[in-house]
Amino acid sequence: MDYKKNIDKVLYDRDILAARVVEVGRQIRADYAGKDLVAVTVLKGAFVFAADLIRAIDLPMAVDFAEIISYGEGAEIAEEVVLTKDVAVNVKGRDVLVVEDIIDTGLTTSFLVDHLRIREPRSIHICALLYKPAMQRVEVPLRYVCFEVGDVFAVGYGLDYAGQYRNLPDIVTLKEIPPEE
Ligand code: PRP
């Protein structure tokens, strides 16, 4: 099956992504010099972005991962957010940077930030690849954004549709969004 036939437009190609990630990585390096940085990547979507981002931050740092699954997206009922993988490193007194692929409503990230705050990090901020300000429903401590986007459905560079397209090197939109099963 030629899954690429469903690609509509390239929103951010690999060169633009690489350049912007390096730029944001340098900013983070300047802000976190002398701190005790722990980068917490939110699975699954952020893993490609995080792999590039951490290599653009020339500082000593720890890395860890959390996985969160949201149910009821787009439904009238309140979303249910479940932590399916918790962070294992001790974040107490440390400077946590949550690495997200996209901040949409903010509900997923807000849930993780509240969860991590209980463990008393010295600071906690978010670095997002994409940010949809028009969709945001809750405040989150967003400090770094690679790209602000409108209400588009983007896939690639870690972002999926129904579990597919994460391996595309560019961020693209799709011609058709088939209904999820
Ligand atoms: C995406 C993304 C964020 C969340 C953002 O995850 O990685 O965690 O949605 O949406 P929100 O701001 O409205 O909460 P998704 O549920 O698609 O899972 P995935 O990362 O495994 O693809």
Among the listed ranges 1-15, 27-41, 92-106, 149-163, which one has the minimum average pLDDT value?
Answer: 1-15
Confidence of residue 83 (pLDDT cuts 50, 70, 90): very high
Q: How far is ligand 1, taken at its centre, from the CA of residue 34, in Å? A: 31
- pLDDT, one tens digit per residue, over 10-67 is 999 999 999 999 999 999 999 999 999 999 999 999 999 999 999 999 999 999 999 9
For 104-147, give the DSSP string.
SSSHHHHHHHHHHHTT--SEEEEEEEEE-GGG--S---EEEEEE
Q: How far is ligand 1, taken at its centre, from the CA of residue 101, in Å? A: 7
Q: Counting atoms of ligand 1 from 1, which one is nearest the CA of 111?
A: 14
Q: How far is ligand 1, taken at its centre, from the CA of residue 126, in Å? A: 14
Active site residue 31: no
The best mutation among 99, 104, 132 to test binding of ligand 1, ranked by most ligand atoms within 8 Å of the C-beta, falls on 104
Q: Greatest CA separation found in the chain? A: 50
Confidence of residue 3 (pLDDT cuts 50, 70, 90): confident
Q: Is the CB of 70 under 6 A from ligand 1?
A: yes
Q: Is the CB of 132 under 6 A from ligand 1?
A: no
Contact by Cβ (8 Å): 67, 42: yes
